[in-house]
Amino acid sequence: MITVKELMTRELYTLKPTDTVYQARELMLNKQIRHIPIVDKQGNFLGLLTKRDLLAASVSMLADIDVLERNELEEGIPINEIMITDVIVAQENTFLLEAAHFMLKQKHGCLPVFQDKKLVGILTEADFVKLAIYLMEKTPEESEK
């Protein structure tokens, strides 16, 4: 059976709990990601920040303030005030099917992945979409049968 290790994203973009909502928003925009693991100075996993959490804490673009004011306000909000600390995680040897069922049932968009106690990757909905595309491209068309 395929394990989480074989599909997870290994290139992690992380932030520290003292980083700000502004920094998180910029990272998500620049790297086109929706989940950021939050780690301490030693790289130990502390929590997770999702795009949904970020949107809830961000100053609305509909607010009657300009971009500079919005950025200044968001620079004053540390991530540790909005990050999720009660996070379900997976071990890299977890079967992919088990992880997929869990994510679908619990409506989780990602699972941080560990090798013992070390954060080594993240499994996201986007990883499953990539897998689906790969499998569909490898499947012969009906007309080729």
Question: What CATH number is associated with residue 33?
Answer: 3.10.580.10
Q: How many domains in the chain? A: 1
pLDDT of residue 140: 76
* Segment 39-56 mean pLDDT: 94
pLDDT value at 69 more than 60? yes
The pLDDT tens digits of the residues spanning 24-42 come to 999 999 999 999 999 999 9
pLDDT of residue 56: 86
Computed on alpha carbons and rounded to an integer, the radius of gyration of the chain in Å comes to 18
Give the domain range for residue 75. 4-144
The pLDDT tens digits of the residues spanning 82-138 come to 999 999 999 999 999 999 999 999 888 999 999 999 999 999 999 999 999 998 998
Adjacency order of strands within the sheet including 110-115:
90-91, 110-115, 118-124
